[in-house]
Amino acid sequence: MLDLVEPAPVPPPVTATAPRWTLAAAYALLQQPLNDLLYQAHQVHRQNFNANEVQLSTLLNIKSGGCPEDCSYCPQSARYETGLESTALMNVVDVMAAATKAKNAGATRFCMGAAWRSPKDREVEQVAQLVSAVKGLGLETCVTLGMLKPKQANRLKTAGLDYYNHNLDTSPEHYGKVITTRTYNDRLETLEAVREAGVKVCCGGIVGLGESPQDRASLLCQLANLPEPPESVPINQLVRVEGTPLADEAPVDCFEVIRTIAAARIMMPKAFVRLSAGRRELGDAGQALAYFAGANSIFYGEQLLTTPNPPENEDRLLFAKLGIRAMAGTT
């Protein structure tokens, strides 16, 4: 008979005036034996959420391509030849049709993305009209538009915006190897403007940008040690797109994605941890493990901004196999 051994304790986050999580503590968390990490993450998950419910979000690209940034992973950058066609901002009729379809399919949050570095005030006003229309359907609203000024964040709040997505992508140490046209501090300032406007923060990162495990620990520290941690934390796996500088980056091991999700759940126990881009590459078994590790939100629908996503029928089949149900709306 095998002896049952409790998992080894993980160094706790420090308190008082020091950061809530040190880099050493976060790295130790990530490097535990996988079973120990999953055991701890699943316990934290059950303490804060129903372990058999997943929140469904749908993402719509409302303005594609032509972005002046040089994010090395992004096919929407005007600097790279990826075959992506640039489009103008969608009109309210088409956005409402997409939002209605998403709601009827079970989504409770509708996210809209536009490829801007920093939108002009008139563009923010146009998006505000879209936010108000979608909010009127009873859906949670989220947008990602690039860098925002405080008054722009306030305008979106008055329109009914619930969440603003602005990812940190990677650690401060690795960031300059991925992006040079926008600083890490630029991103933090946008998060501050959004938070001060009273909008919830959706902020996460990407696994597979050539970063080290220490970089992943550092990213999670940045997120968890914000003045108020994000309410929504998307964990993406790099989707390599031909024409981008990271197109030939070696695929990351799926267990590194699972470890990152589990650590995010432990370090930000109240957040929705979203299994985002790259979900198809995990397969059913990898996704099941991710849900056990604490992922409780997904993008639902066959298309993300520019990359494919599992079809809705595949998600429904997997949910049925796992005994998972869609979370009811909270608006």
Average of pLDDT values for 26-30? 97
Average of pLDDT values for 311-326? 86
- Please tell me the distance from the alpha carbon of residue 180 to that of residue 330, in angstroms, as a whole number: 38
* Residue 210 zone, left/alpha/beta (φ > 0; ψ -120 to 50; rest): left
Classify residue 164 as exposed, middle or buried by CB count within 10 Å of its CB (0-12, 13-18, 19+). Answer: buried
Q: What is the pLDDT of residue 49?
A: 96
Nearest to 204 by CA among 190, 178, 176, 224: 224
Residue of higher predicted confidence among 148 and 327: 148
- Quickly state the pLDDT bin for 302 (edges 50, 70, 90): low
Q: What is the pLDDT of residue 219?
A: 97
- Quickly state the pLDDT bin for 316 (edges 50, 70, 90): confident
Q: How many alpha carbons lie under 13 Å from residue 181 in its C-beta half-sphere?
A: 14
Residue of higher predicted confidence among 259 and 80: 259
Q: What is the pLDDT of residue 326?
A: 86
- Quickly state the pLDDT bin for 279 (edges 50, 70, 90): confident
Q: What is the pLDDT of residue 331?
A: 38
- 210, 177 in Cβ contact below 8 A? yes
Record the tokens describing residue 156, joined without a space. Answer: 């979106």
Q: What is the pLDDT of residue 156?
A: 97
3-state secondary structure 36-95: HHHHHHHHHHHHHCCCCEEEEEEEEEEECCCECCCCCCCCCECCCCCCCCCCCCCCHHHH
2 pLDDT above the threshold of 60: no
Contacts of 11 (CB under 8 A, 6+ apart): 22, 24, 25, 28
Q: Hey, which residues are catalytic here?
A: 67, 71, 74, 111, 142, 202, 274
- Quickly state the pLDDT bin for 305 (edges 50, 70, 90): very low
Q: What is the DSSP letter of 244?
A: S
Average of pLDDT values for 59-67? 84
- Quickly state the pLDDT bin for 16 (edges 50, 70, 90): very low
Lowest-pLDDT range, 109-113, 162-166, 167-171? 109-113
